[in-house]
Structure 1
Amino acid sequence: MRPTSPLLLGAFAAVALAALAGGAWLAFGPSPLEIEAEEALPLPPEPPRLADGPEMERCLGMLRGDPEGAREFAQRWAEAEGGEGAAQCGALALLALGEPAPAAERLERLGVASRAGPAARAAVFTQAAQAWIMAGEMNRAFAAATLALTLTPDDTDVLVDRAVALGSLGRFAEAVADLDRALRMDPTRADALVFRAAAWRHLDRAEAARRDVERALEITPDSPEALLERGILRQLAGDTEGARMDWERAVELAPNSATADLALQNLALNEAGPSRR
């Protein structure tokens, strides 16, 4: 199999870079391709969750604007026998405060010990998987996502999350398998199409990658991530001008994002010429 250029960086690298920069997505929030790095704080999850009631609503409502306050509230709530709800919100507060590894560990323990129903426990494992991605621990992210899928096997969001972990680990064929499942259930998921295009590219399946990225752009014409990927495919096919146009458009659409950073790196390589790629 002919390797694709390791220096042309696409969708899987964008997720990893956004995670390291603090960009997070949580279950029931926007997908990885819909969040920018500056929107780092997690969105409060919607049901199913481990607890409901005014305390949970108050704690979750503080996550974006006052994560330290959410952490302190969760601690007081836990001391007052807040149970699983206090534990979940406390872990999410740690994530919002930039401590993804301890947050992920807490969420995993909570998912194992919880007596809630399968959907709520799966949501907790999904949050753990996303926290592990933020921590750069892709093997643990894969394991947590797999636990979530044992409880809710047809959850397209979790399938996409696990595919992100697999792609970041270089397990591209397995990533394709998860994305195939997700797209069978929801053929309009542009993010899944972009990730599958990236996986196909790494597997030297350029035509399949082009089909997926063009379909993604039909669904979301201004997707910076799809433009980033299409630019790579155009560059690899010798269309330097087309690649430049795609990457410049990605930067224009999302100037302060991880995707823009990678597009700018690719533009610099483009300018440097073949000897540098």
Structure 2
Amino acid sequence: MKPRVILLLPLLLAPFAAKAEVINPKQEYRACLHLARSKPEDGWEEAIAWGSLGGGEPARHCAAVALIGLGKYEEAARRLEALANQSHGTNGLRAEMLAQAAQSWLQAGQTEKALADLDTALGLVPNHPDLLVDKAVAYAQAAHYKEAVEVLTALLKVQPNRVEAMVLRASAYRYLDKLDLAKEDIARALVLEPDVPDALLERGMIRRLEDNTTGARADWMKVINAVPESAAADAARRNLELMDVKVK
């Protein structure tokens, strides 16, 4: 009897081994995009390997996202634009690809191309709040602060408690020398979310312009203590150094 059992074991195990090789496309897509963002080198290799196994559009999308993390912004943007134009996916997915392309163009210093992609994306999903925020950021990067304010004002009519938009509009108002309006936005933002680092950073900048160095220092130190490794903390340190305060 024992020989029969031994002969049957490979037959019993074979189907289970075959199932282990099956790739779930949706799960692979999510996993690949996560890897592309968190570990772009590994994400790139995963995307190429998946593409060789017939991963198609999702694999190409994953590869393009990995290129952003690898600092190859223009190549990433071009790939994402091509994908969005060729994709048979939903308008939402195509808009997401264009938004990612726009972010890549911004990283490459190509603001006009970023704005063009965002306009196309908004044509696919009109008035999408996240795309409006991205467009305001692009305008601000191009020093078009008035246009940034207009976009954010329209957004805040729909989402009046969106703190991110308030902080961005306050920054734009500051550049337009409209400090009273900037202070109103920051005060409202900090009522809704008292410890938001970007809001504290911006309030510190406004206070510095009003020669309130004590208040500015207090805000920037809060940012540094709360999120020491963040971009907001780096900006706070730079501003403190401008006031001849050395912060490690």
CA distance in 1 between partners of 2:35 and 2:244 (Å): 46
Alignment of 1:173-184 (within 5 A): 173-184=146-157
Answer whether contact 2:37 2:65 (CA < 8 A) is retained.
no
Does structure 1 residue 204 correspond to structure 2 residue 213? no
1:117/1:247 CA distance change after superposition, 3 Å? same
Task: Specify the SS of the correspondent of 2:211.
Answer: coil
Query: How many residues are paired up?
Result: 222
CA distance in 1 between partners of 2:213 and 2:39 (Å): 46
CA distance in 2 between partners of 1:79 and 1:249 (Å): 49
Counterpart residue number, 1:62: 35
Which of 219, 240, 243 does residue 192 from structure 2 map onto? 219
Structure 2 residue runs of 5 or longer lacking an equivalent are 1-23
Q: Deviations over 1:84-117 (max 9, x none)?
A: 2121111112223332221111101111222222
CA distance in 2 between partners of 1:207 and 1:163 (Å): 20
Does structure 1 residue 136 correspond to structure 2 residue 109? yes
Normalised by the size of structure 1, how large is the TM-score? 0.74
Which of the two has higher C-alpha Rg? 2
CA distance in 1 between partners of 2:59 and 2:162 (Å): 33
Displacement of 1:215 in angstroms is 1.0
Counterpart residue number, 1:103: 76
Displacement of 1:137 in angstroms is 2.7
CA distance in 1 between partners of 2:131 and 2:172 (Å): 17
Alignment of 1:1-277 (within 5 A): 53-64=26-37, 66-271=39-244
Task: Specify the SS of the correspondent of 1:116.
Answer: coil
Displacement of 1:60 in angstroms is 2.5
CA distance in 2 between partners of 1:66 and 1:211 (Å): 40
CA distance in 2 between partners of 1:104 and 1:158 (Å): 16
CA distance in 2 between partners of 1:64 and 1:168 (Å): 23
Structure 1 counterpart of 2:130, one-letter code: D
CA distance in 2 between partners of 1:188 and 1:199 (Å): 18
CA distance in 2 between partners of 1:115 and 1:128 (Å): 17
CA distance in 2 between partners of 1:184 and 1:159 (Å): 12
Higher RCO (CA < 8 A, seq sep 6+): 1
Q: Deviations over 1:144-199 (max 9, x none)?
A: 21211111122111111111111011000110111112212212211111110010
More deviation in 89-98 or 168-177? 89-98
Q: Deviations over 1:199-228 (max 9, x none)?
A: 011111111100001111112211111111
1:259/1:78 CA distance change after superposition, 3 Å? same
Answer whether contact 2:47 2:60 (CA < 8 A) is retained.
yes
CA distance in 1 between partners of 2:25 and 2:123 (Å): 24
Counterpart residue number, 1:47: none
Normalised by the size of structure 2, how large is the TM-score? 0.82
Displacement of 1:71 in angstroms is 1.8
Task: Specify the SS of the correspondent of 1:63.
Answer: helix
Structure 1 residue runs of 5 or longer lacking an equivalent are 1-50, 273-277
Percent identity of the aligned residues? Answer: 42
